Structure 1
């Protein structure tokens, strides 16, 4: 009996030592930022807090997302490709298992995996992996954060909305109005600040209430996704910064990226797209769009700084792994930019909303005090009564030096910075280093499982779980190979790609022809080698098709017979024959 008791005490002590040595993990994801939008990746935008994490950590230069918001979130949370997690497109049920618009029960979230390993789990920000977002009446919340492994949640269930009055704002399982929230009442509500402030609160509460346990926190920012909303004091910092226009800002970023070692002199920078600065008719509007975009990123960085400061205050900084990334490339969507200019009314023309009223719409019809929401070219963004995107040309600047944007799987759509910071876990000689091994969202679950000493399950709550798809990036943080055994794959809206070592095969649209690029010699995808290397195209495209059929990508929803992708010329012939 004494031996058994002694043995139990030894096991308990050992488990406590293990818990103390395992790191906290914070995943921070920005929304609709381009590859070059951080200072440490080439930008002129002030991001001192993220830059500091980068300089004392490792910057991955070839990390990939899925090219779109909710598929990226599904992949990040589960370690699976988005179709395997049920979200191959957006939040609609398309009648196929890869496109249900709900996080699959054949998948587990990082929170669900880390909780049995002794982690407390927190989330702040944008969820966007369920269709169940309506505030009216009771509804199925089985795919809300608390039902998918998180202990606490503050954020939005839906994917976008006003930064001054977000729809589907939720604490734990209850919708709340930011103007009737007894637990958080800042002088002026701004969603980016609210996400950061509640993250700080979770860190502080954890240190007080669960000090002996490690924690995992998923911090999903909505900045700088449209609408272009920013606080006046943040916008003021960028007054005049963008007066020189698209080409000048892009050229400055190229020069800085080369200096940082992010851009080879041998790579040809993709051409400026979205219009010429010399032809812009309303420069005040275009300049203001980018000033606001920069201010949104600046505010995001300030929030990260407050979280880091709280970690230091609580003695948690040294053994916290912080990973920062983005959900897709810069967004060229013309949100709010079309249509006529709408002047602001002299006084409110609509009834004011009560403090407890929930904002029902992604694009509000009015502000809380009764001003109609204004859109249209020339309406200067920033205030609560505006709702705009920053346009294709500025998105092209964000994605410097790459082609394309959010939605596509060329480099401009799927390339993201990944900053890894972990003072106790990343060797000092590796700090401020660049890591060029290709990596993907599917690797984040594997990384968390690795550093947490957790076990990825084969079954969970009666469901057989799809095997983990990625590899741990912990070796890469130490300068070692991640030992990836196969290619990385992509599909979104029929855009598709496969990355295998130095080679990338990519196509635009379900009927686009394959393009082949040597990513060591031509990361910017300017020299298509498909015609000179048909055998490599054949091998990679066949690998893509095998993956697509195995991973619930096919059958797909893009209208091709049996889901098999056809080259553009053959597709055209078949369509002509069918029409006859």
Structure 2
């Protein structure tokens, strides 16, 4: 084992760890996906879904984007699937996961501004219906392995209560990759040995092998890599011993190992005879942190930023039986996953909450108009960004001042040239539209530990 960052549990005490699990009502210790009380003997022919979510993966850190990191399995998904080259997520972990599972911008329920801290009393509001809840209610077997990071203070906040028949992994946002002190299986603590990426793959493969073939399946694989702490097996690190920067070397090894895990999971889908009727989606929750070895390619900034390096993710949809290989350059968003999967599952959402995402399937399989006229990249009390067509508006508020930028992403994807002065009318129109979104925002339920407006103004915000 190799590690560049020491193990720590932050401010969480072992007493709190004990209380979180032992004082929780008894949970299912089974390793199998729960079955409905009245199972049907008729085989359900609706498609299965496998979502593969990387944690802090840079846009430039996959082989098909020119990376030196060896990612043959991700590259194979890209080569035989649809590459979504302008796919947007939120700039940090919890908001993206919330958007993925609800199909709604996190500003609708106050989760757009910060990640959920360990043992925070905040969570994805229980009023928000998750993708897993809808699919399970319609007869799908639902399972999640890996990182949750949407609240666990109350058992009602945890994945077992949010639509997943089965959960194995960590509730928190940061975990030691070798010491699984905070991991659980269906609410019960586990102390499994091994590297976290390998354990996640082991569990995903087992679930695919043991699934109920009569039911379609939703499997959410939420990797903890390559999020810091920078840790990887020695064998993986040795593959990149020629890389001088120690942080970059371990980061590359983490991505490499995740790619191997993805290869195992895809192979399990094939071996289970599911491939022709399964949509596989691959994406990251946000951009990489360059201080921890990540590379966002030609895009500006990284994790935590509303510049493209923070919110544009490598993304793939792969279903060779139904989707021809393609490179899609039009802007799409993580909120689109929810309605797209529901459309394929022939389910109409019925809880009355309007979705921000749209069903991408007609757009991907036929010559139809772009699905979005505009995309909200995020909005908080202190910053925000909006995309309309090729134009991107960005604003930041600091020390009572507002800094605004306008970019044409078709001509300037790296956001080097600010066009605010050349196009003042467009600037004001997009600023007004962002203000409308801000006015619609719910009260924040999670706030940064230090308010961004208190930080020094950057020379180039």
Q: With structure 1 as the length reference, what TM-score do the two structures score? A: 0.67
Alpha-carbon offset, residue 237 of structure 1: 0.9
Q: Partner of 1:222 in structure 2?
A: 224
The match for 1:24 is 48
How far off its partner does 1:167 sit? Answer: 3.5
What residue in structure 1 maps to residue 248 of structure 2?
290
Pick from 75, 79, 82: which aligns with 1:55? 79
Residues in 2 aligned to 1:294 and 1:325: alpha-carbon distance in whole angstroms: 17
Aligned CA distance change for structure 1 residues 554 and 101 (closer, same or farther; 3 Å) = closer
Do the aligned residues in 2 keep the contact of 1:153 with 1:172 (CA within 8 Å)? yes
Change in Cα spacing, 1:173 to 1:480, as seen in structure 2 (3 Å) is farther
Closer/same/farther in 2, CA of residues 525 and 553 from structure 1, 3 Å limit: farther
Contact 1:32 1:331 in 2 (8 A): yes
8 Å contact from structure 1 (residues 91, 131) kept in 2: no
Which of residues 131, 145, 169 in structure 2 aligns to 1:155?
A: 169
Per the alignment, residue 439 of structure 1 pairs with: 332
The correspondence for 2:204, drawn from 199, 203, 207, is: 199
Q: Name 1:322's counterpart in structure 2.
A: 280
Q: CA deviation at 1:204?
A: 0.8
Asked which structure has the greater CA Rg, the reply is: 1
TM-superposed CA distance for 1:481, in Å, is 3.6
2:403: which partner in 1?
Answer: 513
Deviations, residues 28-80 of structure 1 (Å, cap 9, x unaligned): 11011110101012211111111111100010110011000111111111111
**SS in structure 1 of the partner of residue 232 of structure 2:** coil
8 Å CA contact 2:146–2:223 kept in 1: the answer is yes
Instruction: Tell me, yes or no, if the aligned pair for 1:91 and 1:130 is still in contact at 8 Å.
Output: no
Distance 2:367 2:339 in 1: 16
Equivalent residues of 1:86, 1:101 under 8 A apart: no
Superposed CA deviations along residues 230-250 of structure 1, whole A, max 9, x for unmatched, are 00111111111x24xxxxxxx
Verify the 8 A CA contact 2:145 2:203 in the aligned structure 1. Answer: yes
Cα offsets for 1:352-387 (capped at 9, x unmatched): xxxxxxxxxxxxxxxxxxxxxxxxxxxxxxxxxxxx
Correspondence for 1:359: none
Equivalent position of 2:213 in the other structure: 211
CA 1:404–1:41 in structure 2 vs 1: closer, same or farther (change >3 Å)? Answer: same
How far residue 163 of structure 1 moved from its aligned partner, in angstroms, is 0.3
Specify whether residues 103 and 555 from structure 1 end up closer, same or farther in structure 2 by C-alpha distance, changes over 3 A only.
Answer: closer
- 1:290 aligned counterpart, secondary structure: helix
Equivalent position to 1:122, from 112, 133, 143: 143
Deviation at 1:92, TM superposition (A): 5.6
Farther-moved stretch of structure 1 (288-297 vs 543-552): 543-552
Q: Closer, same or farther in 2 for the Cα pair 1:538/1:554, shift >3 Å? A: farther
Q: Who is 2:266 aligned against?
A: 308
1:493-508 maps to which residues of 2 (within 5 A)? 494-508=382-396
Deviations 1:510-569 (A, max 9, x none): 5441111111111111111111111111111111111122132689969xxxxx9xxx9x
The residue aligned with 1:257 is none
Contact residue 171 and residue 182 of structure 2 kept, 8 A: yes
The match for 1:96 is none
Asked if 1 retains the 8 angstrom alpha-carbon contact of 2:110 and 2:445, the reply is no
- Between the aligned partners of 2:374 and 2:122, the Cα distance in structure 1 is 26
1:84 to partner: Cα distance: 2.1
Instruction: Give ranges in structure 2 of 5+ residues lacking alignment.
Output: 1-40
Q: Against the structure 1 CA distance between its residues 92 and 61, is the aligned structure 2 distance closer, same or farther, given a 3 Å change threshold?
A: closer
CA displacement at 1:494 relative to structure 2: 2.9
Distance 1:233 1:194 in 2: 17
The separation in 2 between residues aligned to 1:193 and 1:55, in whole angstroms, is 24
Contiguous gaps of at least 5 residues in structure 1: 1-14, 94-98, 133-139, 180-188, 244-286, 334-389, 459-464, 559-563, 569-580
Q: How far apart are residue 86 of structure 1 and its match?
A: 3.9
> Whole-Å Cα distance in 1 between the matches of residues 341 and 391 of structure 2?
28
Q: After the TM superposition, which residues 244-255 of structure 1 pair with which residues of structure 2 at under 5 Å, given as runs?
A: none
Match of 1:475 among 330, 347, 362: 362
What SS does the aligned partner of 2:403 have?
coil
Once the two structures are superposed, residues 92-146 of structure 1 have per-residue CA deviations (whole angstroms, 9 ceiling, x without a partner) of 69xxxxx9831112311110111122211010000000051xxxxxxx2001111
Q: Would you say the 8 A contact 1:91–1:100 is kept in 2?
A: no
SS of the aligned residue for 1:227 comes to: coil
Correspondence 1:143 to 2:157 = yes
The alignment status of 1:419 with 2:419, answered yes or no, reads no
The number of equivalent residue pairs is: 408
Partners of 1:74 and 1:85 within 8 A in 2: no
For the pair 1:88 / 2:127, whether they are aligned, the reply is no
- The separation in 2 between residues aligned to 1:122 and 1:509, in whole angstroms, is 41
- Contact 1:91-1:102 at 8 Å conserved across structures: no
Q: Is the 8 A contact 1:328 1:415 kept in 2?
A: yes
**Partner residue, 1:172:** 186
The 1-side partners of 2:368 and 2:167 are apart by 36
Q: Is the 1:31–1:223 Cα contact (8 Å) retained in structure 2? A: yes
RMSD: 2.6
Partner residue of 2:19? Answer: none
Alignment check: 8 A CA contact 1:409 1:492 kept: no
When residues 485 and 553 of structure 1 are mapped into structure 2, their CA distance, relative to the original with a 3 A threshold, is: farther
**Higher share of residues assigned strand:** 2
Q: Secondary structure at the match of 2:155?
A: coil
Q: Is 2:53–2:283's contact at 8 Å kept on the other side of the alignment?
A: yes
8 Å Cα contact 2:63/2:69 also seen in 1? yes
**Which residue does the alignment assign to 1:3?**
none
Please say which of residues 226-235 and 489-498 is displaced more in the overlay. 489-498
Distance, in Å, in 2 between the alignment partners of 1:326 and 1:518 is 24
Q: Is the 8 A contact 1:112 1:148 kept in 2?
A: yes
Measured after TM superposition, the shift of residue 290 of structure 1 is 1.1
Superimposed CA distance per residue, residues 459-499 of structure 1 (whole angstroms, 9 cap, x where no aligned partner): xxxxxx53111111223432534643542111358331001
Tell me the secondary structure at the aligned position of residue 200 of structure 2.
helix
- Indicate how the Cα distance of structure 1 residues 482 and 50 shifts in structure 2: closer, same or farther if over 3 A, else same: farther
Deviation of the 1:228 alpha carbon: 0.6
